[in-house]
Structure 1
Amino acid sequence: MTSVEPVLDKDGVRLVVTDRTATVTLTGPARRNAQSPALWRALVEAGQALPGAVCVVVLRGEGPSFSAGLDRQGFTPEGFDGEPSFLDLARGTDKELDAAIAGYQEAFTWWRRSDLVTIAAVQGHAIGAGFQLALACDLRIVAEDVQFAMRETGLGLVPDLTGTHPLVGLVGYARALEICVTGRYVQAAEAERIGLANLVVPADQLDAAASDLAAALLGAPRDAVIETKALLQGATRRGYEEQRAAERAAQARRLRDLAGLGD
């Protein structure tokens, strides 16, 4: 499948599909791609709209910043047009508040699907929700001007958009705690050194580098990529012997498939 027209273009999110690669773009550069519930719903819709042939998804943001985080309008009494503010949600029942946050989190979960490899191409500010959206992807290519920061704790909140699990997995508990509680900036060189970034490139080479990586990822057979991703995702929660068994089972499936004996 080849498409030059957007599959989706709404509420600050655009999805374009070209053969086996999809590109999801945050399209609110005037507000540094600030995030809102409407944008999160559009991200969920983008994930649902992906054709089955898509193997790699690139996530990018228009303008000088990837995403500067939550749109602060959500914390005003007026909130966003047509929906409750975050302050209104706080006045609801525990069940209602939990359901609302769970719905927001859905925008950050589908990037980890085992049938996809996802790449965040990150430039400029990636703050709070922006940092967590970059962490939702499997891989991160960053521009030399990138500035990651987790500012929620300093505002009296916590990172709640699924970012804590991958952050600890990438940099370890102690460093993740320090990054979150201090709210400091993590810039490109440190991001690469501590494992947040797979690659650092000049800002004008970011899109090309993401395209090159996407092309390289498409070189391996899809079923082998899916099995490998599942093995690696499960490695931290399995013991050594469990992981050995998972490797054997995955390899058996691959060998049978290559021999024409698969289901």
Structure 2
Amino acid sequence: MTTVTAEARPHPHLRLAHEGAVLTVTLANPDERNAQTPSLWRALAEVAAAVDPGVRVVVLRAEGQSFSAGLHRGMLSPAGMVGEDNLLLTAAGDPKHLAGQIAVYQRAFVTWRALPAVVVAAVQGHAIGAGFQLALAADLRVLADDAVLAMRETSLGLVPDLGGTKPLVEAVGYARALEICATGRAVGAAEAAALGLANLVVPRADLEAGTDDLVAALLQAPEQALRELKAVLRTATASTPDQQCENERHAQARLLTAMVARRP
């Protein structure tokens, strides 16, 4: 695997590796269970926005025992954290400015699903709050059998606000999403698979290998067909039947035209 140089490392707690058509983005703060901060979100957004057009698959993974314990608790202290936005101070000011700040943070999550590349999250241990929402930002999820997903925002008097509510509702439906978020309960790997939150559950020791197998299968699909497929499926829930048929027609026409053009 070819790792990006240290000078290009976008954040002290983020590591990138690019090999062929695969970009691996790794949360690298295992001592704090990969807790997230605004500076990390900005770095993630910048990485997502700058993904090379030749990348076909992005893997979101994490070092250590947990995928991500969510928002760093220091962000909710009155003093805030050195070098980070003071969320409570911002919340005490202009509501429009606060909403604008949240919009900046959301880009670290929603940009992944908008990529032409297929994004795969490899999740082990805890994926709580912002960690759960980062996993939901991926198109596909491989969970270790020790994975625990939870939305704890409501127990703090808040709501999930990092782009996770739409993919959660799409995956499990409104009633189940409401129950998961309102109670803040843990969703284990087996239940996640049953609910459609996990595409694959593997033993913890096999998480890397299981993810690699899925990535390899994705790379076997013709590149343009896979890109068109992701785009077509992403529009399906929001489109009317007629609109979705139109989306399918246009995608298929582009693929057939390109196929004919390649023939001698």
Q: Same fold (TM over 0.5)?
A: yes
The alignment's C-alpha RMSD in Å is: 1.4
The aligned runs of 1:39-50 (5 Å cut-off) are 39-50=40-51
**1:16, 1:23 within 8 Å by CA — same for their partners in 2?**
yes
Q: Distance in 1 between matches of 2:44 and 2:66?
A: 18
- Deviations 1:197-239 (Å, cap 9, x if unpaired)? 0000000100111111111111112211111111101011111
Structure 1: distance between partners of 2:235 and 2:37: 31
CA contact (8 A) 1:127 1:151 kept: yes
* Secondary structure of the corresponding residue to residue 261 of structure 2: coil
**Percent of residue pairs identical:** 55
Output the CA distance in 1 between the equivalents of 2:76 and 2:251: 47
Residue 109 of structure 1 and its aligned partner are, at CA, apart by: 1.6
The aligned residue for residue 100 of structure 2 is: 99
Local SS of the residue matching 1:151: coil
1:238 matched to 2:239? The reply is: yes
Name the counterpart of 2:81: 80
> What residue is the counterpart of 2:210 in the other structure?
209
Q: CA deviation at 1:187?
A: 0.2
Structure 2: 5+ residue runs without aligned partners? none
Q: Number of residue pairs matched?
A: 260
- Give the unaligned 5+ runs of structure 1: none
Question: Does the Cα contact within 8 Å between 1:8 and 1:46 map onto a contact in 2?
Answer: no
Amino acid at match of 1:144: D
2: CA distance between counterparts of 1:23 and 1:82? 26
1:114, distance to aligned residue in structure 2 (A): 4.0
Tell me what 1:124 maps to. Answer: 125
The whole-number CA distance in structure 2 between the counterparts of 1:105 and 1:83 is 16
Match of 1:183 in 2: 184
Instruction: Provide the C-alpha distance between the structure 1 equivalents of 2:162 and 2:16, rounded to a whole number of angstroms.
Output: 21
Q: What is the correspondence of 1:155-234 to structure 2 with a 5 Å cutoff? A: 155-234=156-235
Moved over 6 A (4+): none
Which range moves more in the overlay, 219-228 or 171-180? 219-228
Q: How much does 1:53 deviate?
A: 1.1
Match of 1:17, SS state, is strand
| Secondary structure, counterpart of 1:70 in structure 2 | coil
Give the corresponding residue for 1:90: 91
